Amino acid sequence: MRLYTIILFSFLFVLPACKEKTYYYEVNEIEVEPNNSGKTKQKSVEQFINIAYANLNQQALSPDQLVDITNVITSIGDKQIAFETVIAKMITNPDISIPTESEMRTDIGLFVTETYKRFYVRLPTEAEKTFWINYIESHPTVTPEMVYFSFATSDEYYFY
Amino acid sequence: MKRRNFLKKAALTTAGSIAFPYILPSGRLFAGSGNPPMAEHVVFVLFAGGVRQQEAIEKRYLAESQNLDIEGNIMYNMLTGDEPELKIVYGTTTPGGQPGGQPISPILQTPLDQQGTLFKEVRFSSAGTGHFTGLSTGVSGYYGTTQGLQQRPLHPTIFEYARRYGGFDATDVWFIGNGIGNSTPLLNHSEHRDYGWEYGANFFAPNITFGMEGQEHLKGFKSFHPEEELEPIEQMRHFLNQNFLQNGGRIPHLNNTEDEKEDIKAFIKEVFARQEAGQLVFPPVTDNGDLSTMGYATEILRWFKPKLTVINMSAVDSCHSSYTNYLQSLHRADHGVGFLWNYIQTQIPEMANNTVMMVMPEHGRNLEPNGILDENDWVAYDHDSDANSRRIFTMMVGPGIDGGLELGSEANPVGDAADVVPTIAEVLGFKNEVLNSGLLHSEAKSLFDQI
């Protein structure tokens, strides 16, 4: 009887403390990205310009250029107009890093996911992804440049 | 039964329309509660960085500042009077190389004081005589004694009154700054909860927008095809913005419609194109920031024909360290005003004879110098809220305004810096709404009511 008690206690207290089991339920591992609900702070003009330039060109803006572009934006009262014109100028830069149209249309889902990650630092929801795939498929004249411009001048892009 | 309901509703509607006048989307009452407008356009020049009465209205040149018995009028587009005969330093460089020795030729054949009404002695009666406080008072009619320097005006500006009660569109209302320093870009609307950005004025600091920085980072921006590109872009952006609506965040804007936004972009392109073609029109002498601002201002007037335009000049503030440069800047500020008025009357038919122009310094300058000497060994002047720095003038000219009328004296001032806002409101036809807002300086009243 004493022997059984010892064995029982060994199972109950000793063995579970020694080894932790990992259970797998056949769910893929995913990297969790923030959604847009946490974006409540406005970027400063400097932050906006720095990030937009980096997103479009995949390289950093020089400090002198940052000051100049910030001044230009400050000199225009309506910031929507200021951002749209400055971004519209940035996309005329020949060094801009934008996927080609064939790259976009070869795998629209991937293009949409990468665009959300690049501009919004998050993954698209399924509803968003569905919208974009349908929209791009049904609008053959839409280019990656137009999509990028839409993202870079949208409200969510101004917040973090 | 239906007929009875119809009669009942019709009676209620009739009674309602009498008791509660229809409110336009702009917030303006349909039933005219204001005065009839005197003119369709107002241009208000904030002149020009702190001006002493002695060198302006009193035409004393060096007599009241440098212990030199030399008097004369260096603002002869605005004021009647002979120019100084000695120690001419305020003009351009002479062919012989004398700096400032060549006065700038007058533009107006008849000085503005003869064309309009001059309030010779107006008071900046409250708060400190700082630039932002002065400018803020000029555009809001309220002395912001608790106003922060990097903060929008606490009380509504004339732009917001104009859009709310005048029913004006965003592109009808412009604030043109000579730069982006001194929080100038914050003056196009207040942070008052009942007014604010949705009634704000469009703003340019054109020396930057169209200057070196703008030429490098704005000129040549891509124009999207209206139907093939812009329309899908707006659809896509609308989807993105709708998904972000729950957060309530928007890029700051001024309620320009999509058409107005595109119009402003087209204007920017047009200015760069005219600049490249050498077609921009500037004052005959344009050798400082105030005068180039004035040139760009006429481009804005020509394109948009705004109902209300406020233009800020500031070069005379060099008086802190150089009295000579102060005189040069004052002379040029007068040149700019003369150019502006002449341009409106001769180059913009829609605004000619239909525009009231007002000119007022945001504050004055000290009676006593600060001890800094310039290249002529002349002393400089600050503005530290002494009695002299509270002395300013206000000039107005245009339809319905008496010509050659002068009011006020140093002993008997007439008018206050806060009076410009209700005066503009009277010209544009919404004085009562502005006065009834309860948001002006307690003593503020239209200058027309003080004549």
CB spacing of B200 vs A77 below 8 angstroms: yes
Q: Do B264 and A150 touch (CB under 8 A)?
A: no
Distance CA A80, CA A141 (A): 25
Residue A80 CB coordination number (10 Å): 18
Q: Is B309 among the domain residues?
A: yes
Say if the Cβ atoms of B236 and A158 lie within 8 Å: no
Cα separation, B350 vs B333, whole angstroms: 25
For the residues of B199-250, what is the DSSP string, one character each?
GPPEEE-HHHHSSHHHHHHTTTPPPPPIIIIIHHHHHHHHHHHHHHGGGT--
- Amino acid in the structure at residue B419: D
Is A75 in Cβ contact with B205 (below 8 Å)? Answer: yes
Q: Does A74 touch chain B (CB under 8 A)?
A: yes
Write the secondary structure of A23-57 as one string of H (helix), E (strand) and C (coil).
Answer: CCCCCCCCCCCCCHHHCCCECCHHHHHHHHHHHHH
Q: Is the dihedral of CA B292, B294, B297, B298 positive or negative?
A: negative
Pairwise CB contact (< 8 Å): B240 & A155: yes
Q: Evaluate if residue A5 carries a pLDDT over 70.
A: no
Burial of A133 (0-12, 13-18, 19+ CB in 10 A): middle
Domain hosting B437: range is 35-218+278-450
Instruction: Kindly identify which residue of chain A lies nearest to residue B203, measuring between CA atoms.
Output: A77
Coil vs helix vs strand at B1: coil
B222·A91 Cβ contact <8 A: yes
Report yes or no on B17 lying in a domain.
no
Residues of A in contact with B244 (CB under 8 A): 36, 39, 154-156, 159
Q: How far does the CA of residue B73 sit from the closest CA of chain A (Å)?
A: 35
**Cβ–Cβ < 8 Å for B23, B160:** no
Look at residue B317 and tell me if it is in a domain.
Answer: yes
Note whether B384 and B45 are within 8 A (CB).
no
pLDDT at A19 over 90: no
B396-415 pLDDT, tens digit each: 999 999 999 999 999 999 99
Q: How far is B249 from chain A (nearest CA, A)?
A: 7
| DSSP per residue, B140-208 | HSS--TT--TTS--SS--HHHHHHHHS---GGGEEEE-S-S-TTGGGGGS---TTSGGGGPPEEE-HHH
Q: B262, exposed or middle or buried, with CB in 10 Å at 0-12, 13-18, 19+?
A: middle
A71/B213 CB distance under 8 A:
yes
Flag whether B26 is in a domain. Answer: no
ipTM: 0.91
Condensed to tens digits (0 to 9), the pLDDT of residues A62-88 reads: 999 999 999 999 999 999 999 999 999
Closest B-chain CA to A48 = B251
The total domain count for chain B is 1
CA distance linking residue B242 with residue B74, whole number of Å: 58
Count contacts between A and B (CB, < 8 Å).
147
Reduced to 3 states (helix: H, G, I; strand: E, B; else coil), residue B58 is coil
Q: In chain B, which stretches have pLDDT less than 50? A: 1-4, 6-7, 10, 12-32
- H/E stretch holding B41: strand B41-46
Helix (H) or strand (E) holding B120: strand B117-123
In the block, tokens 């303006």 appear at B28
Contact B394, B359 (CB under 8 A): yes
Please indicate whether, in this complex, the C-beta atoms of A68 and B217 are within 8 angstroms of each other: yes
**pLDDT number for residue A30:** 61
Query: Is there a contact between A128 and B217 if contact means CB atoms under 8 Å apart?
Result: no
In this model, does residue A100 exceed pLDDT 60? Answer: yes
* Chain A residue at shortest CA distance from B261: A81
Chain B residues inside the 8 Å CB shell of A47: none
- pLDDT score of A39: 87
Q: Is residue B75 within 8 Å of B113, Cβ to Cβ? A: no
Q: Are residues A88 and B229, on separate chains, in Cβ contact within 8 Å?
A: no
Separation in Å, CA B122 to CA A29, A56, A120, B384, B412? 74, 54, 54, 17, 9
**Chain B residue closest to A67 (CA)?**
B213
Query: Would the pLDDT of A16 be above 80?
Result: no
Task: Say what the pLDDT of residue A10 is.
Answer: 55
Structure tokens that stand for A140 in this block: 């053959």
- Cβ atoms of B28 and B165 within 8 Å: the answer is yes
Closest CB from A37, A149, A151 relative to B247: A37
Could you tell me if residue B255 is left (phi over 0), alpha (psi between -120 and 50 degrees) or otherwise beta? left
pLDDT at B18: 43
Nearest to A88 by CA among B225, B241, B257: B225
**CB B129, CB B50: distance < 8 Å:** yes
* Sign for the pseudo-dihedral over CA of A131, A133, A139, A144: positive
Please report residues of A whose CB lies closer than 8 A to that of B204: 75-77
| DSSP calls for B241-277 | HHHHGGGT---------HHHHHHHHHHHHHHHHHHHT
Q: What's the gap in Å between the CA of A9 and the closest CA on chain B? A: 55
Edge-first strand listing for the sheet containing B117-123: B202-204, B173-176, B308-312, B41-46, B355-360, B391-397, B117-123, B405-407
Nearest 5°: CA angle at B276, between B273 and B278? 110
Q: What is the pLDDT of residue B10?
A: 47
- Cβ atoms of B80 and B102 closer than 8 Å: no
- Cα distance from B285 to chain A (closest Cα, Å)? 24
* A69 contacts B202? CB cut-off 8 A: no
Residue A136 has pLDDT above 90, yes or no: yes
Residue contact A135–B239, C-beta within 8 A = yes
CA distance, residue A64 to nearest chain B CA (Å): 10
CB contact under 8 A, B235 and A39: no
Cβ of B240 within 8 Å of Cβ of A86? The answer is no
Helices A126-138, A108-120: axis angle to 10 degrees equals 120
- What is the domain-level CATH number for residue B413? 3.40.720.10
Residue B232 domain-assigned (yes or no): no
B392 belongs to a structural domain: yes
User: Strand B391-397 and strand B202-204: pairing?
Assistant: unpaired
Q: How close, in Å, is residue B183 to chain A by CA atoms?
A: 10
* Radius of gyration for chain A, computed over Cα atoms and rounded to the nearest angstrom: 25
At residue B295, the pLDDT reads: 98
Residue B146's φ and ψ, nearest 5 degrees, are: -105, 15
Chain B residues within an 8 Å CB radius of A158: 249, 251
* DSSP one-letter code for B82: P
Contacts of A141 in chain B (CB under 8 A): 228-229, 232
Residue B251: its chain A contacts at CB < 8 A?
79-80, 83, 153, 155, 158
> Testing the interface with A: which of B199, B236, B255, B258 to mutate, by most A Cβ within 10 A?
B236
Domain range list for chain A: 98-160
A35 touches chain B (CB under 8 A): no
| Higher pLDDT, residue A16 or B258 | B258
CA neighbor of B431 nearest in space, from B122, B162, B191: B162
On chain B, the residues whose CB falls within 8 A of the CB of A36 are 243-244, 247
Closest chain B CA to residue A72: B209
pLDDT at A35 over 80: no
The pLDDT value given to residue B35: 82
- Residue B233 domain flag: no
Q: Which residue has the tokens 């993954």?
A: A123
In a domain, B438, yes or no: yes
